Amino acid sequence: MDIPRMRIAKEIAKEIKALDPNTGLSESSIRRLVKEGKLESVQIGNRHLINLDSVIEFLNTPPPVTIINTTPDEKSHVPMDRMQEFKKNIGMR
């Protein structure tokens, strides 16, 4: 029988960092994902325990892709004056 590897956000961030030293996933990111309901947690007292394997699975699952259909009638371009202003601001002429 496998026992779930339940951890607090700080411990999960530490273990993920050990697996990938260049990760951008922080303790606050994990807490936000729990708060947004994207990761499940179990509250015991004032601590939220999160399954480490669920976090790894979440990270390995690509987000759903949203395809937006546009028709030629819709304005999906940047007006030329705005584009010229943008190029000027970033140093392109």
> Which pLDDT score is estimated for 71?
61
Mean pLDDT per block of 10 residues along the chain (93 residues) reads 92 95 94 94 94 93 75 57 70 65
For the chain, the three-class secondary structure string (H helix, E strand, C coil) is CCCCCEECHHHHHHHHHHHCCCCCCCHHHHHHHHHCCCCCCEEECCEEEEEHHHHHHHHHCCCCCCCCCCCCCCCCCCCHHHHHHHHHHCCCC
> Which pLDDT score is estimated for 45?
95
Q: Which pTM does this prediction carry?
A: 0.64
